[in-house]
Structure 1
Amino acid sequence: MVNRTWNRNVLSTVILGILFLGFSTTWSKEVLTNHWYVELDGDGGVESAKLVAKRTGFTYVGPVLGSSNEFHFVHSAVPNIRTKRSIGHTRLLKAHPKVKRAVQQTGYLRVKRGFKPKITGVPVSEIKLKLQSLDEDKARAVNVKIDGKSPTDPLFKKEWYLKNVGQSGGIPGLDLNVEDAWAQGFTGKGITTAIMDDGIDYLHEDLRHSYNAKASYDFSSNDPYPYPRYTDTWFNSHGTRCAGEVSAARDNNICGVGVAYNSQVAGLRMLDQPFMTDLIEANAMGHVPNDIDIYSASWGPTDDGKTVDGPRNMTMRAIVKGVNEGRHGRGNIYVWASGDGGADDDCNCDGYAASMWTISINSATNDGQTAGYDESCSSTLASTFSNGKSTLRDAGVATTDLYNNCTTTHSGTSAAAPEAAGVFALALEANPNLTWRDMQHLTVLTSKRNSLFDPYLKHHWKYNGAGLEFNHLFGYGVLDAGAMVDLAQKWKPLPERFHCTAGSVKKEMKFGTEQPIELKIDTDACVGTENEVNYLEHVQVFVTLKASYRGNVVMFVTSPMNTTTMVLSQRPNDDDHKNGFTRWPFMTTHTWAENPRGLWKLQISMAPGKNNAMDTGSFFEWTLILHGTKDAPYDKQVVDGNKHTKLYKVKRVHEAMRKA
């Protein structure tokens, strides 16, 4: 089976060339590592690469994305962190007759989301296995009834995100509705989720039976054993906590239970090092793509409200290859935590969360609000849960912890992404033929508004032109596992996806705090061509501009069906005045299923700065790219109007659009 994701894969090549030319980071000096990308002439193969490494004094690490002529080398005599390029070592490689190209790898920061280390020497988790024989008084105090069908794991009573009955100050019924999916017979059996993180405690009693050793690897140490490195602060507990959310065992009297408790988890240890490299990231995201179904990432560029950064070239290649070829052509599912930068950051400045190839997940609290650390952006597709507003210690996410321990304090969007991965594992068991696009459509159509709301009343729930309700904070709502597996079972293949370059505006224009500008593109959405798009999925707004204070730039895009979405919000901490944005791909999912034909508008303004400072900017270019289908995506879907009201509604809208 071949996933015809792109029309001749043209756009993949285009985006790889232009996507991240203008990123900026918080580091003023370039950091170099002792890792090299080496390309050999022809299909040299592994043995040739090993020979080249040996003769040049390097250590052979492995192929890049399974290539026969691209390889990863390391030089032990070069410091793993330095500020100057090792020109001599690069020349030595290039002088070898079989070496076509050699590039020393730049180092950059990638940060775990939601991790708050404790004081040195004080364990992060205090819930030992010996405490799990909860006495009856404590069990009654939790106020969760075990009905004979619910898991008997001792911490299940605290897993309000799985079954919310009001514990820890939550709203009853505000949960992932996993028991409905379990009741339909789906528990994640046969599905593997890779936790790309700081390792997994695969010896943990709640994880060892679900651990997929074959699909695991340690990219920090280059061995097959991704066990977390010990620190006094338990800094490397992050991956183990995420793994437990997905596949902690059921009814074994240990910790809690995972969303997809019969699924497997693989550990891809790649975060535990001073600086990330493009090669390590790429190889982790492309590791055994036919054995791994879902890749879960709870990390990204620094959430400081001023970083604009994303995947480099090799990593982009890995993701594109994954969605096109992974899972034997159905496409790997990449789940991303949207970010913990709070209201002063925007996840559209994170090239991972804002990628149309990933499913960006935000978090909600147990009482339906947005957490203080949540970022908002138009690329967020849906939400799960992180922690509660309650002062109770166990209002966080209950899951596995290092060294056979448990915790009830896991939080942040770090906790949200693995929950989503667990729900997707349930859906893949219900229908193993689902593609990466199917999963995004199912997410849009089955997520629920439920009781989610913005306590600050800045972001209201709205309907787009196709009748789909969305929110700038929560995307299309909270995942509903029961509804997703129900629809997944009868899901029909989608029409082929195309891309259309709708138009560009290239001219220099000044804008400022009191001088907003509006740009327009009138498009036929490539009608009559091989790239015709009549029903939208993702919309990308590639923008080039500079400003005296980048963080005060605010942008909105309005579709022909009059859906206005904020593609960039104010980021008060971003004081950049040199780099701006260079063809940065701001992305929105808010126009999903709309007809793209007609007038698109881009509004750019400068929000007042500190002390009402008046800032100015220069706009240079806007390119609008539409992604979607020529044929109606849901015509073949069998729908029960009582069960799947969103799908029923959008099908009616599409029928009306065709008649008009």
Structure 2
Amino acid sequence: MINRRWIRKALSGLAIAVICLSFSTTCSKEILTNNWYVELDGDGGIEAAREVSKRTGFNLVGPLLGSSNEFHFVHSAVPNIRSKRSIVHTRKLKAHPLVKRAIQQTGYIRTKRGFKPLKGIPVSEIKLNSPELEKLIDVNIQSHQPNDPLFKKEWYLKNTGQSGGIPGLDLNVEAAWALGYTGKNVTTAIMDDGVDYLHEDLRHNYNAKASYDFSSNDPYPYPRYTDTWFNSHGTRCAGEVAAARDNNVCGVGVAYDSKVAGLRMLDQPFMTDLIEANAMGHMPNDIDIYSASWGPTDDGKTVDGPRNMTMRAIVKGVNEGRHGLGNIYVWASGDGGADDDCNCDGYAASMWTVSINSATNDGQTAGYDESCSSTLASTFSNGKSTLRDAGVATTDLYNNCTTTHSGTSAAAPEAAGVYALALEANPMLTWRDIQHLTVLTSKRNRLSDPYMKHHWKYNGAGLEFNHLFGYGVLDAGAMVDLARKWKPLPERFHCTAGSVKQETHFATEQPIELHIDTDACKGGENEINYLEHVQAFVTIKSTYRGNIVMFITSPMNTTSMILSQRPNDNDHKNGFTRWPFMTTHTWAENPRGRWKLEISMAPDKTGNVDTGVFYEWTLILHGTKEAPYDHQVEDEANHNKLYKVKRLHAYSKA
């Protein structure tokens, strides 16, 4: 007999999902799922969890991050989207003598970056071995280059000026390949909507052991079929990393001998903390790199980031993954354009992740690119040419190819591919080594801001950076060359430099300026003389949150805009509560001295006067006591490829 009451509940939940997905980044009503976090009393392990599952009618999905007392449970009789808490089911769990805590999981939205709804013809109309594909390729492929039919369309690998690009503006992967590095023995997990592991260009480079479907809870993360090709996102990203070479199929990946794992977790109306955490902590000793081309909705008004368990997974990954060397988490910086700021995205702005922005094939920033001070470097998304080949060429669903992949979604997997090359060159690189190598080997090349708002500058340590592009475009050849000779870094510390706690009012045309004088924990166990990341934890409210603008200036006079104007953010209640604004612009600087925080209210288009209240600023410094680059130049004193390292070596001796 059909349970009509259950059907009504399910339809009600579906209606909530449709409304939330269509009109808002966050629902005004809390959304609950049929997932529960369960903590057991003691370390009974999986057998105790099975006993709880059996007695309560819940399904045991598995442990959280390999824990012996924290587990993921699901109840199949509860709709996976509902507006009210399932108090009866939670009580049933809590009533079991082995259960210490049971928390029903809240649902929230995570969106793919770079996906645009299809209009008219499908994006993936380029069929393998079809006459249309043959028209798109140059049949005179040189013998020393890959014979893959779309290689000449992959301008991000080798830019010869095709599709209106600038010759030489690419990832310089051929130099890395010429050194013999192609990504062997490195696995990148594509955390997305699934991977077409049957694709001819991916199936031999697919790591089935390290793959999992967190949406369906099985080991087969194949994308769910839709007639709009909506779930092609992960397959496209996977091809950028590891599409096979010289098989006459599609193009070639940045690290074409590396492996990709599929972690399907995006294909559902609402994300949960448990799903994110388990995906980011999945087989951390088998997966080297986690690539994420998604995040909170890029609407210019959302302020969101990883929840507690997800944060635990990331921190555990960088500290314990890869047998202690640390997993590398690569994140797309965001597609919210000039009206958004990726420092409001807690994933991209995390110091544990590598935030990657994108550039076009002519060296400019794309219209959808967000900017922020936490961006470390850039790769490529698409060109501004009207030619369809200006997109990123890669694999697509059902053994197809595409030349129209785009967005910072395309940028993050390219970076993951470059890091796979570096890890093959030196398997002992840590997560910090990857970030240092990124800073030292990225290039300004021909990157520029077409609107002339963000100029290239040198920080106090002599490193050139840009608010849009970070330290420049990744250079695979330079990175693997430096990586193979790289020596371990000094130990990293963090230092609480000081706090300002006072209620201070500000308004349009009435900015405020705050200062923290610090010795950077000099003389203590966590003394810092050379910076890596800097975090400003700020608590502030205003009548229009999107008009708050903040700059931080270091003692070496490097100024970073840690929050730009976001015209669409009309919040007037929540503000920011100890939100960790982060900058990488002061990398390798000495942090000792006076730090300045400037807070202003940008005028809006209506001419209204907005007001705000500042409550708290805490400055956290991360870096090393010892000079990080002195020992890197001992055998390379006359090697001009280490120009940045040598310059910083000279700085550290000054």
CA distance in 1, matches of 2:252, 2:241: 8
How many angstroms does 1:133 deviate by? 8.7
- Contact conserved, 1:132 with 1:255, CA < 8 A, in 2? no
Q: Which amino acid aligns with 2:65?
A: L
Q: Which amino acid aligns with 2:573?
A: K
- More displaced stretch, 647-656 vs 366-375: 647-656
CA distance in 1, matches of 2:393, 2:607: 44
1:536: which partner in 2?
531
- Secondary structure of residue in 2 paired with 1:238: helix
CA distance in 1, matches of 2:27, 2:457: 39
CA distance in 2, matches of 1:123, 1:46: 46
- More displaced stretch, 325-334 vs 610-619: 610-619
Residue 409 (structure 1) aligned with residue 404 (structure 2): yes
Task: Report the CA distance shift for 1:133/1:531 in structure 2 as closer, same or farther (over 3 A).
Answer: same
Give per-residue Cα distances to partners, 1:295-345, cap 9 Å, x unaligned: 000000000000000000000000000000000000000000000000000
Q: Which amino acid aligns with 2:431?
A: W
2:419 to 408, 417, 424: 424
Residue 299 (structure 1) aligned with residue 294 (structure 2): yes
Give per-residue Cα distances to partners, 1:166-225, cap 9 Å, x unaligned: 000000000000000000000000000000000000000000000000000000000000
How many angstroms does 1:123 deviate by? 2.6
Residue 347 (structure 1) aligned with residue 342 (structure 2): yes
Q: Which amino acid aligns with 1:643?
A: K
How many angstroms does 1:642 deviate by? 1.3
How many angstroms does 1:50 deviate by? 1.0
1:47: which partner in 2?
47
1:398: which partner in 2?
393
1:164: which partner in 2?
159
- Secondary structure of residue in 2 paired with 1:420: helix
CA distance in 2, matches of 1:371, 1:150: 29
1:123: which partner in 2?
122
Q: Which amino acid aligns with 1:653?
A: Y
1:577: which partner in 2?
572
Q: TM-score, normalised by structure 2?
A: 0.95
CA distance in 1, matches of 2:639, 2:505: 50
CA distance in 1, matches of 2:605, 2:578: 27
2:500: which partner in 1?
505
- More displaced stretch, 253-262 vs 47-56: 47-56
- Contact conserved, 2:126 with 2:133, CA < 8 A, in 1? no
Q: How does 1:164-563 map to 2 (within 5 A)?
A: 164-563=159-558
CA distance in 1, matches of 2:101, 2:25: 26
- More displaced stretch, 315-324 vs 634-643: 634-643
- Contact conserved, 2:544 with 2:569, CA < 8 A, in 1? yes
1:630 to 625, 643, 647: 625
2:11: which partner in 1?
none
Q: Which amino acid aligns with 2:646?
A: Y
CA distance in 1, matches of 2:275, 2:137: 45
- Secondary structure of residue in 2 paired with 1:129: coil
Question: Which consecutive residues of structure 1, in runs of 5 or more, have no partner in the other structure?
Answer: 1-23
2:7: which partner in 1?
none
- More displaced stretch, 425-434 vs 53-62: 53-62
CA distance in 2, matches of 1:241, 1:379: 26
Task: Report the CA distance shift for 1:362/1:138 in structure 2 as closer, same or farther (over 3 A).
Answer: closer
Give per-residue Cα distances to partners, 1:486-528, cap 9 Å, x unaligned: 0000000000000000000000000011110000000000000
- Secondary structure of residue in 1 paired with 2:129: helix
- Contact conserved, 1:293 with 1:327, CA < 8 A, in 2? yes
- Contact conserved, 1:25 with 1:309, CA < 8 A, in 2? no
1:648 to 640, 646, 649: 646
- Contact conserved, 1:165 with 1:171, CA < 8 A, in 2? yes
State the identity as a percent: 84
- Secondary structure of residue in 2 paired with 1:565: strand
CA distance in 1, matches of 2:33, 2:83: 9
Q: How does 1:77-88 map to 2 (within 5 A)?
A: 77-88=77-88
CA distance in 1, matches of 2:169, 2:103: 50
CA distance in 2, matches of 1:167, 1:343: 27
- Contact conserved, 2:126 with 2:132, CA < 8 A, in 1? no
CA distance in 1, matches of 2:649, 2:131: 49
CA distance in 2, matches of 1:132, 1:213: 33
- Secondary structure of residue in 2 paired with 1:643: helix
Q: Which amino acid aligns with 2:653?
A: E
CA distance in 1, matches of 2:523, 2:131: 65
CA distance in 1, matches of 2:631, 2:615: 43
CA distance in 1, matches of 2:30, 2:115: 26
2:17: which partner in 1?
none
Question: Which consecutive residues of structure 2, in runs of 5 or more, have no partner in the other structure?
Answer: 1-23
Give per-residue Cα distances to partners, 1:571-603, cap 9 Å, x unaligned: 000000000000000000000000000000000
- Contact conserved, 2:26 with 2:109, CA < 8 A, in 1? no
1:602: which partner in 2?
597
CA distance in 2, matches of 1:279, 1:270: 11
1:71: which partner in 2?
71
Question: How many residues are paired up?
Answer: 628
How many angstroms does 1:68 deviate by? 0.5
CA distance in 1, matches of 2:234, 2:574: 34
- Contact conserved, 1:535 with 1:630, CA < 8 A, in 2? yes
CA distance in 2, matches of 1:259, 1:229: 26
- Secondary structure of residue in 2 paired with 1:528: coil
Give per-residue Cα distances to partners, 1:408-445, cap 9 Å, x unaligned: 00000000000000000000000000000000000000
- More displaced stretch, 152-161 vs 110-119: 110-119
CA distance in 2, matches of 1:310, 1:369: 28
CA distance in 1, matches of 2:511, 2:131: 60
How many angstroms does 1:131 deviate by? 2.5
Poorly superposed stretches of 4+, deviation over 3 Å: 132-135, 137-140
How many angstroms does 1:635 deviate by? 1.0
Give per-residue Cα distances to partners, 1:470-497, cap 9 Å, x unaligned: 0000000000000000000000000000
- Contact conserved, 2:214 with 2:275, CA < 8 A, in 1? yes
Give per-residue Cα distances to partners, 1:378-418, cap 9 Å, x unaligned: 00000000000100011100000000000000000000000
How many angstroms does 1:245 deviate by? 0.1
CA distance in 2, matches of 1:100, 1:146: 64
Q: Which amino acid aligns with 2:313?
A: A
- Contact conserved, 1:132 with 1:254, CA < 8 A, in 2? no
Residue 107 (structure 1) aligned with residue 107 (structure 2): yes
- Contact conserved, 1:124 with 1:233, CA < 8 A, in 2? no
- Contact conserved, 1:119 with 1:233, CA < 8 A, in 2? no
Task: Report the CA distance shift for 1:92/1:597 in structure 2 as closer, same or farther (over 3 A).
Answer: same
CA distance in 2, matches of 1:132, 1:495: 57
- Secondary structure of residue in 2 paired with 1:130: coil
1:14: which partner in 2?
none
- Contact conserved, 2:25 with 2:299, CA < 8 A, in 1? no
Q: Which amino acid aligns with 1:75?
A: H
How many angstroms does 1:25 deviate by? 5.8
Task: Report the CA distance shift for 1:381/1:73 in structure 2 as closer, same or farther (over 3 A).
Answer: same
CA distance in 2, matches of 1:147, 1:420: 26
CA distance in 2, matches of 1:605, 1:651: 37
- Secondary structure of residue in 2 paired with 1:654: helix
Give per-residue Cα distances to partners, 1:216-274, cap 9 Å, x unaligned: 00000000000000001000000000000000000000000000000000000000001
Q: Relative CO higher for 1 or 2, CA cutoff 8 Å, sep ≥ 6?
A: 1
2:89: which partner in 1?
89
- Contact conserved, 2:32 with 2:105, CA < 8 A, in 1? yes
How many angstroms does 1:134 deviate by? 5.7
How many angstroms does 1:646 deviate by? 1.4
How many angstroms does 1:139 deviate by? 4.1
- Secondary structure of residue in 2 paired with 1:554: strand
CA RMSD of aligned residues (A): 1.2
Q: Which amino acid aligns with 1:327?
A: R
